[in-house]
Structure 1
Amino acid sequence: MELKLRHKPIDQVGIEERCARFKTRSIKTDAKMQGLKMALSMIDLTTLEGKDTAGKVRQMCYKAMHLHDELPGLPTVAAVCVYPEMVASARKYLGSSGVKIASVATAFPSGQTNLDIKLADTKQAIDAGADEIDMVISRGKFLQGDYNFVFDEISSIKEACGNKRLKVILETGELGDLENVALASRLAIDAGADFIKTSTGKIQPAATMEVTLVMLEVIRDYYFETGKMVGMKPAGGISNSKLALHYLIMLKETLGDAWLTNEWFRFGASSLANDLLKQLVKQTTGVYQSGNYFALD
């Protein structure tokens, strides 16, 4: 059966102009504090390196749960994100904190292996205690136009996830243009994605406002058609509070208040936490702290 993928034509100039306007917005006082705390609560703290150890995961989990040590009343982050081999360690250290565990799977970051291995990768992470799976699509197959292959693969992984949420990583830096980003977004959603995600963080460019806006508009159109909400996760390259707030403005004006929660929006940007903490302390005390003071990396 041939897929009938639908999305509106992309007006690249219009997308760029809208993003430029978002970047001119300024948020002050109480609204800024609310936005900074919201952004902090939406972060997936991430370590995805070959040198990862149980000790490094333990340190990251501690930080995920103890941001309020820097300033009383702060939320925890939404989740920590690790390789399947590190999920058991994360589960041990997070305990009943409420911080979720996300695990990359399906031969992250390249996706270059067969479906049986991808399913085994997914099962390993879920059996070890993952709450969410971040899978990568087969970009080579997508760029060849083999959309049925990509659709079936996502559907199979979604089935393997059971009641766990599935984030589908498009790796937009490899897709070529915004038309392909829109097409891949709709394909992933139709195949069962609970979230669509820009990037692995291993390829440049990673998240951009233009790419994210296109993906948000696909989510909006799908919601208007079906009444079903789908989450969004820009990942990679969002490292300062000002930019994070611009993303939240874009989110609110494109999808509305219902998406302004970590249930439906995440930042894949561990280094962002440092800058958010600096800004929150500045807003509260009037004094900037050094980035090293927070030592979240």
Structure 2
Amino acid sequence: MKKENAVIFGVTGVVVAAVLIGGGIYMKTERDRNLNADTASTAADSNRAEEVQKAVFLAEDSGLWYLGDLEHGNIYVTHTPSDTLYDENGNAIDPSEIKKGDFLQVEGDGIMLNSYPGQYPGISRIMRISGGTEADAEKFDEELSRILPEKDPSEIPFLNLCYTQPNAQVTAMATQGGYTWSYVDEDGNGQNVVADSAFILEWTELSDLHTANDEGKTDLELVFSEEPDSVTAERWPAEDRGQNFGNGYPEGESVSVEHAESWSIPGAEAGYIYEVDAVFENGTVSYGFEVKK
């Protein structure tokens, strides 16, 4: 079974150091492997005053905003804001109203995760301020092109799972399973790829999500690197993983998947293994993860 992993906000099982904004030296790696799985942001001290900085909006991709730090000249990323974005007059606005080159006042806990590009999950408020043109954003274009290269048509879309823990937003990479994928290569030839996968309860690798609450439930936002046409999901009790399925595989329980501004699974429950199947223009891909307390 072929598996490919991409990353967002840290690396599973590794404690990520935090540094103040503008500090730290960031190791340069490929974009899809420098944004990874299941590491919560470091919580700021409750008595610490929020820090304010000025940034320019560069781009949005797969549920992330790419911002240029106008003081230090580097690029960092954060989740696309939902209810923390305001215009010059303090009125709440939709992220779609922000354009490349807009100047932003960014307020937050001042803690940047040590990665490349820098990751700033502790933002509490973003306000559009006067000034700013595309020319201000173009100063970052060369670096941004290395972080967001042109998509390879043979690349299989990945799935990030975004959810909230106390004092932190977490993004984890779902484990990729089997897929079918068709594309046209650089020579103009059509290619068809099929990668089979074992039954999900037999997967040796599976991403873990920790709800960190008494209810053991969490709302999951499904952020795909490429927008799918449709998404379905099923789940199985985690205790069934690794059992002998000689008499046939157990049937999964259908899970509700909602689609408004993004795809989501409301109330994903601890103690279950989930499989998500997504249909794209070029094929279908399955993903899996386990929800734990």
- Give the structure-1-normalised TM-score: 0.27
- Give the structure-2-normalised TM-score: 0.27
Which structure dedicates a bigger proportion of its chain to strand?
2
Which structure dedicates a bigger proportion of its chain to helix?
1
Larger Rg belongs to: 2
